[in-house]
Structure 1
Amino acid sequence: MREPAIITEGLDHFFGEGEARKQAIFDVNLKIEHGKLTILMGPSGSGKTTLLTLMGCLRHVEHGSVRLLGHELHGAQEAEMVHLRRKLGFIFQAHNLHESLTATQNVMMGLQVHGRGNADKQIRAAHHMLGLVGLSDRLDYLPANLSGGQKQRVAVARALASNPDVIFADEPTAALDKVSGRNVVDMLKAMGRERGTTTVMVTHDNRILELADRIITLEEGRVVRDETA
C-alpha cells in the first residue's frame, strides 16, 4: 500500500533572525491522500500559504519533516527540489502570466518546463485545456487583452496541462465569478477521480467548500480543525 501523497510530521517554520525571529507554523502533523481535494482555511496570517509553500517545494523545510510523493524535503538538495517541482502544478491568485505571450503560448510554457511532447502536441494540449476552461475564443489573445478572470483561467489551464501528480493552489477562484470558480474546482475534483491527482488549496471562497474531500483550518500557525467530508 503506497504512502499518502503528502506527510508532515512535527513541522515548524520560522521567519526572521535573532530578536526578530517569529514562529509561523507550529507542530503540523498531516497525511494527505492521493486523489483528494484538501482545502486549507483560516484567517489572514494563520499560516495557510506558508504551509502550502513548504509542502510544495517552494520553501525549504528546516524543522520537522515533509514527505512529498515519497521524497523527504527536509535537507533535500536543490536538484531534487527541481525534479519534484516538475511533478507539480501551481495556481496562484496572482496569475503570473508572461505578458508578451498569447494564452496558448503561456500554457505551452507549462508543458515545456515539464518536457511534455513536441511543439505540435503542446499546441494541441494547450488548445484542449483552454477549451476546458472556456477560452476557446481567446487562444491567441495577449494577457493585456484578457479580463482578470480570463487571465486566471489561463493560469489554471497552464497548471493542469502537464497532468501533474499534485496541484497546489492559493486562492485560485478569487478572481473568478461563481460559475467559473465552480467549474475550475469541478475540474480539479475530476482529475482526482480519473487520474489520482491530489489537490491542496488555500481559499476563503465559501462557495466551493462543499466540493472538498477534507477541510483543514489553521489559526496562528496551528491546525485547529480537521474535517473529512
Structure 2
Amino acid sequence: MTDDPPVTVVGLNHWFGTGEASKQAIFDVNLTVKRGSLTVLMGPSGSGKTTLLTLMGCLRDVQDGSVRLLGHELNGADRALNEALRRRLGFIFQAHNLHGSLTAVQNVLMGLLVHGALDHERQMAAARHALTLVGLADRMNYLPANLSGGQKQRVAVARALVGNPDVVFADEPTAALDRESGATVVNMLKKLGQVRGTTTVMVTHDNRILDLADRVVTLEDGRIVRDTAP
C-alpha cells in the first residue's frame, strides 16, 4: 500500500456550464486527507460540499487543479483508471438507490459484483455479515418496500462497506436515520479507520455527529473557510 495520503487536493477549481452561462462552484481548494481518518465536510446548501466530494471520488472530471486519489492523478485520468479506482471506493448517498426487486442481502451483494474475487458462498457470507453489523440481521430477506427509510439507508451503508473499500465517500449518510442509528453508522466508519485504515470523507448537516469526526472542514461559496485539522 502506498504511503501517499489517500486524497490530496491542490489548487482545485470547478465550473458548471459553459461560456457566458459558466458559474464557478469551487475556488482554489487545497486539502489533504489522512489515511484512516473521518473527515466531515460542512457548510450551507450550495457551498460546494457535494461537488468537492464527487470530484475527489472520481464521479466528476477534474477541470483545473490536482486531485490525487490513492496515488493516482485524476486530472486527465482516462475512463479505465476512473473505473479501476471506483472499485476501491465505497459510496453512500442520501438517496439510498436500492434495487426495488432485490432483497436487502441481494442489494448488498451488488456491492461485491465489481470485485469478482470471491465465490458466491463467500460473497453471501460477507453480505450477511455487513447487514448484521448495521443491525439488520432480521431483515436480510426483506424487499426495500418493506423496510423503513432508516433501514434502507443502513442497507446502503452495508453495500458500501461490504467490499472493504480503501476510501468511503458519504453524502448525508445519516439524514434518514434517528440519532442512535446515525451514531452507529458513523462509529462503524470510525472503527474501520482505526482497525483497517479505511478513510472516510463525509458531507453532512448533522451536528449530532461532529464530535465523532477527526476533522471538520467548512465550506462557504466554494471555498474552505474553516478547518479543524491541527
Fold match, TM over 0.5? yes
For residue 123 of structure 2, what is the amino acid of its counterpart? Answer: Q
Deviation (angstroms), 1:114: 2.0
Deviation (angstroms), 1:112: 1.2
* Distance of 2:116 and 2:220 partners within structure 1: 39
* Distance of 2:209 and 2:229 partners within structure 1: 15
Q: How does 1:1-229 map to 2 (within 5 A)?
A: 2-228=3-229
* Distance of 1:196 and 1:144 partners within structure 2: 35
* Distance of 1:116 and 1:198 partners within structure 2: 22
* Distance of 2:194 and 2:151 partners within structure 1: 26
For residue 142 of structure 2, what is the amino acid of its counterpart? Answer: Y
Question: CA deviation digits over 1:69-116, x for unaligned, max 9?
Answer: 000000000000000000000000000001110000000010112224
* Distance of 2:59 and 2:12 partners within structure 1: 15
Deviation (angstroms), 1:228: 2.8
Question: CA deviation digits over 1:194-213, x for unaligned, max 9?
Answer: 00000000000000000000
Deviation (angstroms), 1:158: 0.2
SS at match of 1:111: coil
Kindly tell me the number of residue pairs found equivalent between the two proteins. Answer: 229
Q: Percent identity?
A: 71
For residue 132 of structure 1, what is the amino acid of its counterpart? Answer: L
TM-score between the two structures when normalised by the length of structure 1: 0.99
Q: Segments of 4+ in structure 1 off by > 6 A?
A: none
* Distance of 2:117 and 2:143 partners within structure 1: 23
- Asked if structure 2 preserves the Cα contact closer than 8 Å seen for 1:116 and 1:162, the reply is no
* Distance of 2:28 and 2:116 partners within structure 1: 37
- Asked if structure 2 preserves the Cα contact closer than 8 Å seen for 1:47 and 1:218, the reply is yes
- Asked if structure 2 preserves the Cα contact closer than 8 Å seen for 1:88 and 1:165, the reply is yes
- Asked if structure 2 preserves the Cα contact closer than 8 Å seen for 1:188 and 1:199, the reply is yes
* Distance of 2:24 and 2:80 partners within structure 1: 27
SS at match of 2:186: helix
Deviation (angstroms), 1:3: 1.7
* Cα pair distance change 1:146/1:116, threshold 3 Å: farther
